[in-house]
Structure 1
Amino acid sequence: MSPEPLTPENLRPGLVETAEEVRQLLRQGLLLAASQGGRDLCWLDTDFAAWPLSDPELLDALHRWALPHRRLRLLAALDYEAVRRVHPRFVQWRQVHDHVVQARAFEPADLGDRSTPVPQGLVLAPGLLTLKLWTPARASLALRDAREEAMAREWFDAIEQRSADSFASSTLGL
């Protein structure tokens, strides 16, 4: 019996509060965003090391998603060394699909002042889902919630404006 296809109806919006639930929700959210996401996917994390970016099923879904008119906007703190070290399959996917990836790096202080809680990670698939990673053991998911999406998009865009290009698809040596 094959597993049930991943749809928004399979995911339950709300808060999860264990590390295992966060890992599972992140994987499901990324798969759903890659399989049903629209033109623009926005991902933010301090280093993406804990993300399932080497998962063959996710990479396959991203491969199918990566049409020329689409954009995967990545924001990582400082650099992408952890991605290069931990996720070589994703690095290879990124090289093949350079035409859809915009990778930038930000200063950790740009996440915001600590007077109000801010997520440490974000998966935003406009019109579909907003997944906020608060800690390794706490995350929240909103599905088709225009208010949550607008707030997340504004926060992501503000950090992106203060970021710099990073994580080139290839490095040229002289």
Structure 2
Amino acid sequence: MGGATVQTLLLENPGRFSRAGLVSAGAKLRVLPVIFEKLASDFPGYLDLMDKFAFSGTAAAAAKREVLEDTAKQDPAVIAQDFRACDVFNVADRLPEIKSRVVIVSGTDDLLTPPKFSDILHAGIAGSKLIRITDCGHMVTSEKPTELAAALRGLLRG
């Protein structure tokens, strides 16, 4: 959702942002129907799905627990609204309009927004830089915060 917001800001405000980071993002974000099903009728089942799909197999238990405990406090209807917005998001044909300096960061083990989505962003945004973080799923901020900070620091410095 954050990547969709950033792309929308870049496209709707050309020239306003000189740099941007896209983390675990895609130009088109289709959502698996089972996610909507679980959110509608089985919130604990949704949390189990996120435990399996949002993290790499090497993610630290503490990082997973923190994210899942926070998610468990959220309203499933609000989460479903976020996913509905993602499901209809599609700016793939507009990527060449993005002229800002963009760093795209993705985890090699991301099952929610697979690395091929980052490849599409990288191919569509001229001059973008693609950084893959190994042994990392969708939750880059929780799984590999040091590596993510280094990637974004390079964007800000350069």
TM-score class, shorter-chain normalisation, is 0.3 to 0.5
More helix by share: 2
TM-score when normalising by structure 1: 0.31
Indicate the structure whose relative CO is greater, using CA pairs within 8 Å and at least 6 residues apart: 2
More strand by share: 1
TM-score when normalising by structure 2: 0.34
